[in-house]
Amino acid sequence: MQLLGFSTQDIIAATDECVMCGLCLSHCPTYSAAKNEAESPRGRIAMVRAIHEDRLQPSQTLLNHLDQCLGCMNCAEACPVQIDYERILDSGRLITNARHTFLYRLKQSLLRATLSRVHVRMMAKFLLRMYRGMKADSLFMKLAARFPYALRLPLLIPGLHEPSFTRNPFTSEMQNLRVALAPSCASDLFSDPCISSAELVLQALGCETVRLPQNLCCGALHQHSGDLRTAGRLIRNFCNAYGSQDFDAVASLATGCAAHISRYPALLNEPCTTWMSRHHVEICVLIARLQMQHKPKFRPLPETVFVHRPCTQKRVSNDPGLTEKLLSPIPGIRFEKFLDDAMCCGAGGMNVFTQAKLADQLIQGKIAELKSSQAGYLVTSNIGCALHFQAQLSKSKSAIKVCHPVQLLAQQLLYSGHA
């Protein structure tokens, strides 16, 4: 296996690009919250470099600063030299991984296993259901309130990547695409109804949809937590499973996965990743393009819909109005955006589980905006963000429904047979 770009010299050369201008600071949510250079992109870049050069030993404080990075990549977007921050961060986490306490590594491994292994997910889902079934005033519930944030999450949630398919779905003569749907591995844990919605909408757009029997993990969580060996194996499994079948496109339903899959050729230099990069597309990008020629009909929705643009969506589409474009065929719909639209909601990567306090703090501004609005819905295409928003909104007993934009499309779709 060849995992590219992680030699010490490569990383030092990548950190050399940083001119320490500080233009990224105001775009970084952790720096904005802590006002501490060590919580900034520039500070983290300097730390990773110093570790690679053996000038700094990874202390617990230093590990915390690297762990608290949300991986939102706002810094890379704002950076005038387009720093490859993602690679620098991955390498920092890779070389410091072994320095974490045994308990921390165990917690991380359990989280990754829960999300990436189907049998562990089934067991976790069973346990979560049992937990939810208990009376709210039971002793167990009181004890469990001290448990990780994961237990409070709801069980049910309602580069510029231009795909180049073997058959081009975006020309007028192309019909009946065979599209494989790739849900996030967390989606069956949290009963995400997004997959059936995507099937309905794509079928209305003339596509044949296929689900593989088992959700495959794209490896993003392993990559971002420094377990590059497992990440490489998962990338290969993922590409081979889809690549061995005759699909015109592989559509990711979660932008976290889509952003990671778009990096595959740079992470694993094998033919299967080249195939994937030619066939992979994020679901909103695919549907928005197909809608341009098929023009399906929708029932009116005279409601305000708050649009959340996840950090990972920015990495798969450079169109800031993608979600509005996707939903605008619904008559009567109105859109609102967050004032700090570019800022991460705090759910980045596994932070919603591992840095719950910080995640709670970072979302409060957005929750206040939502509560003071007339919105009936919040749409977001990242499952981690959706869970984080829904947990917070239910805490404040808000009636705003949280869903993926494709769910809203499916809900409003008028198809033959509708009265």
Interface with ligand SF4 (CB under 6 A): 18-24, 27-30, 41-42, 44-45, 69-75, 79, 81, 83, 85
CA 126 to the chain's CA centroid: 24
Minimum distance of ligand SF4 from residue 311's CB (angstroms): 7
Count of CB atoms situated within 10 Å of the CB of 360: 17
Q: Which is nearer to ligand SF4, 43 or 296 (CB)?
A: 43
- Closer CB to ligand SF4, 179 or 345, in the complex: 345
Q: Which two tokens stand for residue 40?
A: 């900034």
Burial class (CB in 10 A: 0-12, 13-18, 19+), 189: buried
Minimum distance between the CB of residue 34 and ligand SF4, rounded to whole angstroms? 10
**What would the two tokens of residue 370 be?**
């939502």
State which residue, 69 or 409, has the beta carbon closest to ligand SF4.
Answer: 69
Of 326, 329, 328, nearest to 317 by C-alpha is 326
Amino acid identity for residue 263 in this structure: R
Nearer to ligand SF4, 19 or 160 (CB): 19
CB of 121 or CB of 315, closer to ligand SF4: 315
Kindly tell me which of 31 and 165 has the beta carbon lying closer to ligand SF4: 31
Packing angle of the helix pair 194-204, 405-412 (nearest 10 deg): 50
Closest contact distance (angstroms) between CB of 77 and ligand SF4 is 8
Residue 413 sits at φ, ψ, to 5 deg, of -65, 135
**Contact call for residues 288 and 321 (beta carbons, < 8 A):** no
Q: Are 284 and 314 in contact, with CB atoms under 8 Å apart?
A: no
Report the residue number, 23 or 241, with the smaller CB distance to ligand SF4. 23
The region that residue 199 occupies, defined by phi over 0 for left and psi between -120 and 50 for alpha, beta otherwise, is alpha
- In this structure, the number of other CB atoms found within 10 A of the CB of residue 269 comes to 14
Please tell me the distance from the alpha carbon of residue 311 to that of residue 315, in angstroms, as a whole number.
7
Among 250, 258, 198, CA closest to 405:
198
Nearer CB in complex with ligand SF4: 70/327? 70
Dmax over CA atoms of the chain, in Å, equals 71
Q: In 3D, which of 370, 348, 343 has the Cα closest to residue 359? A: 348
Give the Å distances, CA to CA, from 259 to 191, 231, 298, 318, 376. 22, 14, 29, 12, 28
Question: Cβ 31 to ligand SF4, closest distance in Å?
Answer: 6
**Minimum distance from CB of 185 to ligand SF4 (Å)?**
22
- Comparing CB distances to ligand SF4, the nearer of 70 and 286 is 70
Closest approach, Cβ 346 to ligand SF4, in A, equals 10
Q: Which is nearer to ligand SF4, 37 or 303 (CB)?
A: 37
The DSSP line for 142-201 is: HHHTTS-GGGGS-S----------SS-TTSTT----EEEEE--TTTTTTT-THHHHHHHH
Q: How far is the CB of 198 from ligand SF4 (least distance, A)?
A: 28
Least separation, in Å, of the C-beta of 205 and ligand SF4? 35
In this structure, what token pair is assigned to residue 197? 């919605």
Taking the C-alpha atoms of residue 132 and residue 163, their distance in angstroms, rounded to an integer, is 41
Return the ∠ at Cα 255 (arms to 254 and 260), rounded to 5°: 110
